[in-house]
Each structure stands twice: as C-alpha cells, then as structure tokens.
Amino acid sequence: MSFGDHLEELRSRLILALVGVVLAAGVCLAFGRQILELVCQPLLFVQAANDLRPSLQVLSPTTAFLTYLKVGVLAGVILAMPWVLYQIWRFVESGLYRHERRFVVALAPASVALFVLGVLFLYFLVLPTVLHFFVNFNKSFGPPDLAPTLFQRLIVPAEIESPPPPAPFDTLKLSLLQEDPESPADGDAWVNTTTRRLIIKTATGIWSAALEPGGASPTMQSQFALDFYVSFVLILALAFGIAFETPVVVFFLAWSGIVSVANMAQGRRYVLLGSVVLAAVLTPPDVISQVLLAGPMYLLFELGLWVARTVAPGEHRPVT
C-alpha cells in the first residue's frame, strides 16, 4: 500500500473505532443504573464487612446525574475497547504481507482476551484488596482524648462537663432479627442484624438508624463521594485493561524485528522501572494499587518474552 492508502486506511479505522465507542456509550447509558450498582458493589461489600454503613455520599445536587453520565461514557469506552483493539490490528494487518497476517489473526483475539482479563483482575482481586486496606487504615484512627491541656484551659476556662450517665432501661428489650417483619404494628422496634439498623414502625411510616459496633465511632469515617469513587474505579479498569496488553506488545515487537528478544531481556531493569513509573501515572496516588498494577505488568512482560521465544523463534520479520 502507498502512504496515501495507509492514511486512508487509518482514517477509516479511526472512524469505525469512534462509532463503536459512541454505540457502546449509548448502550451503557441505557443500563447506567445497573452499571453504577455494579461499580459500587465492591465498596459497599467492604464497608458492610468492616461493620460500616454501606453508603456513598452525594455532595451536590447534580452529582448523581453527572456521575450517571460519566459511568455511561467511561463504561462505553471500556466496553468498546475490544472493538477498538480489533480496528488497530486491522490497520496493522494492512501493512503486512499475506503470509505474515496469520500472526494478526492470533494476536487480535489475544488482545481482546487480555483486556477483559485485566478488567476482571481489577474488579475481583485488586479493587476489594485496595478498598479493604484503606477502610481498615481509616478505622485505625480512634477518637482522640478530649481532656483539655493547660493552655486550652487558659483559652477556654470553662470545664468540659461530661454528661451524666444514662439511666438504666431494665425493661427495654429489642428483638434481633435477620429480616424485617412483614407487617409490624405501630410502636414495634427491632434491630436488623443483617443491615445493622435500628428500625421503629410508626403511624406515619418506618424510621431507621444505622448502628456501629463498639462504644465510639472512629474519627475517620470511610464514607466516600460517589463521583470520586466512580472515577477511581473506571479509570483503574481502563488502566488495567491496557496494561494487560503487555505480552501482545512484547511478542509483536520481537516478531516484527523492531526489538529483538535478547535486547528486551537485557533491558529487564529498565522495563521494571518503566512498569513502576507507568503504574504511578495510570493509577491514583496510592502505593497499593500501583504495586498491584506494576507487578502484573512486569510478569506479563516476561510472559511475552517466553511466548516470543517459543512460538516464533525463527520468524522475526520486519513489518513492511
């Protein structure tokens, strides 16, 4: 193909990829509520497992609606990535000879499978691990000692009086139920041990309050903002999906002759450094998610080297 034909092929592939992203975003917007519930489920599970009220905060009137749109668009990009990868490989295929295109036939589905594997790896393993670590870290900060110091007594001379102890309720008995009763009477009160809520049935409806274990609540409550959490999850999903393409990239570079297997093997330390730097750029600023991305990236690099050595040891031809 001539240079102009390559440009025309690139233009058509970009248009097809963009159309796929738009269609996928439209589908995700139609199922935005279900996708939002799926994205929030790991956090709500970790909160409930750590005896916290499963909830997310909405900090402005438009937050929920804008987050709904964000979920649709970013989830559409993630959903369309297999189609985008297919278009990329079709463009690469146009620059290869007929006998070389058999590698693209194998690499295209491998790219899609690795991207899906990266997203699933994040959702089922990395995300619960990261959330559990930070929720427990926040819980470790207990309430401070509120006894005034000498200087505080000078500034605020009034004594902080402790409230009188509550009178004992010898006759107060609450039922501990795993499920709410089907038709409670007015004035009935019980504790739902599954949802950890105190519930009272009144003439105007049901009132409830969340219960926390222990005598005092932690100073730092792990109640995250909805928009920040959704962006955190979806950006990580895109980052992990792209990072899991490392074996395909390594194999393609080795097979095409752009970089030899021996040169890539000699540059392992630079690859490890690059994996750490790239993980720091792609993930939020926390060490846990960076390590959980950099580690698999380097292992996938080694996997790509192994595949390049064993599958096509003598067929490293340059791309034309």
87: tokens are 């278009």
Whether this model's pTM surpasses 0.75? no
Task: Report pLDDT for 284.
Answer: 66
Q: What is the pLDDT along the chain (320 residues), one digit of tens a residue?
A: 667 777 888 888 889 989 999 999 999 888 888 888 899 999 888 888 887 778 888 888 888 888 888 888 888 888 888 888 888 877 877 766 666 666 667 777 888 888 888 888 888 988 888 888 888 877 777 666 777 777 777 787 665 555 666 666 566 678 888 888 888 888 888 888 877 788 898 888 888 887 776 655 666 677 788 888 888 888 888 888 888 888 888 887 777 777 778 888 888 888 888 888 877 777 766 677 778 888 888 888 888 888 777 765 544 444 44
Task: Report pLDDT for 213.
Answer: 65
Task: Report pLDDT for 318.
Answer: 45
Are the C-beta atoms of residues 282 and 57 closer than 8 Å to each other?
Answer: no
DSSP-assigned beta bridge partners for residue 129: none
Task: Report pLDDT for 22.
Answer: 92
Task: Report pLDDT for 252.
Answer: 77
81 CB burial (10 A radius; 0-12, 13-18, 19+):
buried
| Residue keyed to tokens 């970013």 | 74
Question: Under DSSP, is residue 72 helix (H, G, I), strand (E, B) or coil?
Answer: helix
Residue type, 146: L
Neighbours of 215 (CB within 10 A): 6
| Residue keyed to tokens 């980052």 | 239
Which of 32, 8, 28, 10 is CA-nearest to residue 20?
A: 28
CA distances from 92 to 10, 16, 101, 104 (A): 9, 15, 9, 8
| Domain ranges across the chain | 1-139, 245-320
